[in-house]
Amino acid sequence: MESPAPSRSARTLTVCLLVERGTNTLFYNFDRSAAAVDLALQYANDVILSDYNITLHSYYSDIGSTCSLRNHIMTYAMDLMSVGVKCDVYIGPGCGSAAESLYDFTSAYRTLVIGCPAAGMGTSAPIGEYTFFSRISVTHLNTATILLQFLRQNRYTSPTVIQDQANSFYQQMSMIVKDYIQNEDPGIFGRTSFEEIRSTDLTNQRLELLLTSNSDTSRIFILLAPSDSVRQIMLAAYKMGYTTGDYLFWGVNLFPSATWGNFSFANNDSYDQAAKKAYETLLLVSITTVQDTTYQIFASDVKKLSERKYNYSYIDTDEVDIVTSHFYDSVIYYASMIKTLADAGSATFSGDELARLKRGYSFVSPINGRVTLTSVGDRLSSYVLQNFNPDSGRFEDFISYPAVGNSTVLGVLRWPGRVTLPPNEPRCGFLGNHPRCDYVMPRELLGAAIGLPLAMLLLASWTIAYYVRRYLAASTDPYWWRIFTSEVTIMGPTSKSTASSGIMASGVNTGDAGTVISVTKTEMSVASHYIVKRAMYDGVLVAARDLPQPLHRVKTTLGKNLLPLRRIQHPNLLKFIGIAVNDDNLCQIVVEELCMKGTLTRLLERDRFDLDWNFKSALMKDLTNGMTFLHSTSIISHGNLSSNTCLIDSNFVMKICDYGLDYFRVEADLRPLIDEDEEDRDFSELFWRAPELLRVMMPPAGTQAKGDMYSYAVILQQIIMRSPPFRSHDHNKNMLSDKELLLEVKKGTLPPLRPRKAGDNIVDHLIRSMEKHALDLEHEAEQRMKDFMDEKRRSDDILTQLLPPAVAAALSHGKEIMPETYPSTTVLFSDIDGFEELLAGLKVPVDTISIMNTLYATCDSVIERWDVYKVESVKDQLMVVSGLPTRNGILHAGEIASMSLALRREISSMKFEKAVDCQLKLRVGIHSGSCVAGVIGTKMPRYCLFGDTVNTSSRMESHGEAGKIQCSKATRDLLDKIGSYVLMLRGEITIKGKGNMETYWLVGKESL
């Protein structure tokens, strides 16, 4: 699709669309959305940009119909450049892995990419690290957010997540969900069980074993799987008695799509009534859709234009889905940002400007209303949780989760045998040994109550109260906070950092050498006795900090003192995990949530970091929200608030730390400021202490709410002026030492000494220029190191694609790979009948490359779904093996058989624009047996197979027939043991070099 180019007098911006098309297996398809893009371009040019002499012009490139980890999308982007198309913005692709590949290319040109939907983006790195990337459609990160919110609201702490690895949509979703829960709630993550299934070979025995093994630790099952798999799981749960109301199942049905199917209980089979009963314990989460008159008019226009211009016809029952409307919103989003920049006086509309503007941006869509983005440029979506109504047989809205704000109950919960959702665990615990079920009323008390009912009433009441208090004391573990040092594993070398508990300075290196924390000289002076380490606890990365000497001995009252920390849950307060106790029963280490971006002090000192007013406003809002919430809790106040106790996480969200730990404060830090203080005292940590508190011994933290307000104001000054307290970039030392300056503050004169803005002079200007030059050199060195590490990563990725991952890892570490014999493997050879004739009929060499790319991408997308390794591919010939280098028993025969059936189906359905009438047929040969594998060559190593099994497999293919899969008797025997595969005897044939052999045709696989 290419829109008409405007007149030369207008400023033209090119919107490049690289989106998949021609398939219903993906929930995004440009054939369905092309008309929506045209309507959006028309609205943007006629309404949004009409007064700015700016016109948007689109250019579409077809990138195929598959979503593969090896998508060659960079080739399509380079093709656009080769024909003179300069892309000002990219929209698409829909595939997350393809979007990451495109971003690797476009980020070098600092060009914005608007993913639509690119829901799986972020599996390789946090989405916040993609500076020039934004998403205006469905994201798995939003789904993960709703899931965690649901778990927290209902106090579900030990769910089981069932992930379908055969469906790429749910596979990517499960990766995002797992990473999000690990980062946002390590406690829930540590008690969550993650189970993998494959819908392509799912059996009832496998499901029953999975449910049984997890029912001892979980009653909540999160089903990240398509509708067919969910129905099969629910039927298995019904058969085992798990659908009576004590267990909860939670699925994802974002909107109607053929990608995941229809989540209806009815399948017109004998299990419909059982499925209907089972679905009463199933909740489904969906995206809230807008179906007003405006949207209906839009849908009608899309259908008409699609048929008239693009020859794509919607069937009568087919709706214009929300992803199509999101393609419309993507164009409106870009046009709105151009308008905002034009109003601000910009004339370049560069990617850097757009990247800064996207954070928290908001615009109005003509069809979807107000659209708000997160701090990383993702669309905030509204969700609704649906409950099954057995009377109507449909899922109905139950709870609303708006994009901004709290959830709202929309309807009545219908649940078997209950009026509320089931609890996280049974009343007596999963094993029936909870203390609440052990209590037995004393016989003496019953006898006394019967013999002396009136006289003993008060005694009975007192006795019951006594036992209840004992029960409550037993059920509340006074040592909930205790962690043993043996459970905490320090990840690597440490370095001194700033302030207090859990503080990580920037410059974190997560290489094999461990954690290296770089801090400035100023930060070191703030609290040199604090040492922060990156550690592993309960499978989660945490921050560990040694407590100051002398160490405190464990006391039962400590749990009560720390109890407020356990109850605090706020996005702007650092999560307290526990305190590690050594073998001498002394409190040694504080374990808290890890913040990788370091302190606010460090962030403000990084001059090369662009801290615009939107960012400053977000930081101040985070600080305000955190302190407001803290003052509303039983902790009451902080008592040690400073820019060093304000941490920045990987999403640039500020989190306040070091609250509620008065018990471990060092007495020397609480002393008042006096004239006789030695110069070796660290005065810099007193800049945030209020004047009235500088004159006295610091009182307990819970009495210092007014002192927090003073500290809060100093931090605001730091953020606004981007300078240290009582200092500025213009006047480094104010002619006063730290001690002299603080003594003036302590006096409380009228007017009081407060931070001021200093004037400029030529010396200060020269000093700033020299400092900036030094920082630029440091930044250039860091950038070159980053480029080197990026190139190393790309080299490692290429090596991993050429060799098995385990072999590639060993080679990269300089290890020698010795040849190894594998007694049981299955080898496949394949060839495409008719492919040579197809290539011979092409007139342009470029068409050959395009067809080869499509073929390889299709084959790779199929091969990646099974436990196999592609040894070699030459033109249209493939060699694939299973059972090595990772042994898998006899399952290798089934993996190869299933893969060959899927590959034959995909190849036979391939169509090419340059050869519409061409019909490809796959010829496959399979044989099982032993072989030897090893790495051949040093400059260009190859993983090669040797042995009679390889030769026989090749003969199976060369003596086969087009469109058929021939296998040997050895393979047939293994498939019979595995079961469910349909084979037909071909008979004895003469094989070159082997004589007469009995062979079989692999026909298909029985459905389960």
Weakest mean pLDDT among 181-185, 189-193, 580-584: 580-584
pLDDT tens digits, residue range 969-992?
A: 999 999 999 888 999 998 888 888
Kindly report the backbone phi and psi dihedral angles of residue 561, in degrees, each rounded to the nearest multiple of 5, phi listed first: -65, -35
Burial of 442 (0-12, 13-18, 19+ CB in 10 A): exposed
Q: Residue 303's CB: how many other CB atoms inside 10 A?
A: 18
pLDDT of residue 446: 45
CATH at 725: 1.10.510.10
**Residue 343 located in a structural domain:** yes
Q: DSSP of 634-688, one letter per residue? A: TT---SS-SGGGEEE-TTS-EEE-S-S-GGG--GGGGSPP-TT--TTS-GGGGTT
**Percent of the chain residues topping a pLDDT of 70:** 85
Look at residue 352 and give its three-state secondary structure: helix
Residue 516 pLDDT > 50: no
**Residue 184 located in a structural domain:** yes
pLDDT of residue 811: 72
Residue 461 pLDDT > 90: no
CATH at 89: 3.40.50.2300
**Residue 283 located in a structural domain:** yes
Residue 410 pLDDT > 90: no
CATH at 974: 3.30.70.1230
pLDDT of residue 36: 95
283 and 392 in a single domain? The answer is yes
Q: Give the pLDDT band (50/70/90) at residue 98.
A: confident
CB 761 within 8 A of CB 795: no
How confident is the prediction for the chain on average, in pLDDT? 83
321 and 461 in a single domain? The answer is no
pLDDT of residue 731: 47
**Residue 73 located in a structural domain:** yes
CB 195 within 8 A of CB 162: yes
Q: DSSP of 875-887, one letter per residue? A: TTEEEEEESSSS-
d(CA 828, CA 1002): 13
CB 282 within 8 A of CB 251: yes
Q: What share of the chain is helix, strand, coil (3-state, %, to 5)?
A: 40, 20, 40
Residue 236 pLDDT > 60: yes
470 and 497 in a single domain? The answer is no
652 and 512 in a single domain? The answer is yes
pLDDT tens digits, residue range 117-166?
A: 888 887 777 888 899 999 999 999 999 999 999 999 999 999 999 999 88
pLDDT of residue 399: 93
Residue 913 pLDDT > 80: no
* pLDDT: which is higher, 447 or 986: 986
Residue 763 pLDDT > 80: no
**Residue 786 located in a structural domain:** no
Give the pairing type, strands 646-648 and 654-656: antiparallel
Q: Give the pLDDT band (50/70/90) at residue 428.
A: confident
Residue 25 pLDDT > 80: no
pLDDT of residue 311: 87
pLDDT of residue 614: 82
* pLDDT: which is higher, 40 or 25: 40
Secondary element (H or E) of residue 766: helix 762-802
Q: Give the pLDDT band (50/70/90) at residue 68.
A: low
**Residue 555 located in a structural domain:** yes
Mean pLDDT (whole number) for 36-48: 95
Residue 803 pLDDT > 70: yes
Residue 263 pLDDT > 50: yes
Residue 734 pLDDT > 80: no
Q: DSSP of 782-842, one letter per residue? A: HHHHHHHHHHHHHHHHHHHHHS-HHHHHHHHTT-----EEEEEEEEEEEEEETHHHHHHT-
548 and 647 in a single domain? The answer is yes
d(CA 400, CA 389): 17
* pLDDT: which is higher, 467 or 497: 467
Q: Give the pLDDT band (50/70/90) at residue 702.
A: low
d(CA 115, CA 378): 9
Residue 495 pLDDT > 80: no
Weakest mean pLDDT among 487-491, 493-497, 516-520, 694-698: 516-520
**Residue 426 located in a structural domain:** no
261 and 318 in a single domain? The answer is no
pLDDT tens digits, residue range 637-654?
A: 888 899 989 999 888 899
d(CA 30, CA 306): 11
d(CA 892, CA 825): 6
123 and 20 in a single domain? The answer is yes
Query: Which range of residues forms the domain containing residue 463?
Result: 439-475
Of the candidates 475, 491, 522, which is a domain's last residue?
475
Mean pLDDT (whole number) for 577-586: 88
Kindly report the backbone phi and psi dihedral angles of residue 957, in degrees, each rounded to the nearest multiple of 5, phi listed first: -75, -45
The long-range contacts involving 728-732, CB below 8 angstroms and separated by at least 24 positions, are: 728/755, 728/757, 728/758, 729/768, 730/757, 730/758, 730/759, 730/760, 730/764, 730/768, 731/758, 731/759, 731/764, 732/767
**Residue 91 located in a structural domain:** yes
pLDDT of residue 415: 94
Tokens (6 digits) for 439: 């209590």
716 and 859 in a single domain? The answer is no
Distance in angstroms between the alpha carbons of the first and the last residue of the chain: 43
206 and 313 in a single domain? The answer is no
Of the candidates 747, 775, 803, which is a domain's last residue?
747
272 and 347 in a single domain? The answer is no
Secondary element (H or E) of residue 557: helix 556-567
Q: Give the pLDDT band (50/70/90) at residue 83.
A: confident
d(CA 620, CA 687): 19
Residue 195 pLDDT > 60: yes
Pick the most confident of 283-287, 613-617, 635-639, 829-833. 283-287
d(CA 666, CA 829): 72
Q: Give the pLDDT band (50/70/90) at residue 240.
A: very high
Question: Which whole-number Å values give the CA distances from 242 to 194, 239, 277, in the listed order?
Answer: 19, 8, 11
Mean pLDDT (whole number) for 396-419: 88
361 and 403 in a single domain? The answer is no
* pLDDT: which is higher, 762 or 652: 652
Q: DSSP of 817-834, one letter per residue? A: ---EEEEEEEEEEEEEET
190 and 214 in a single domain? The answer is yes
Largest CA distance in the chain: 109
Mean pLDDT (whole number) for 871-879: 85
Question: Which whole-number Å values give the CA distances from 360 to 376, 613, 934, in the listed order?
Answer: 8, 12, 53
* Number of compact structural domains in the chain: 5
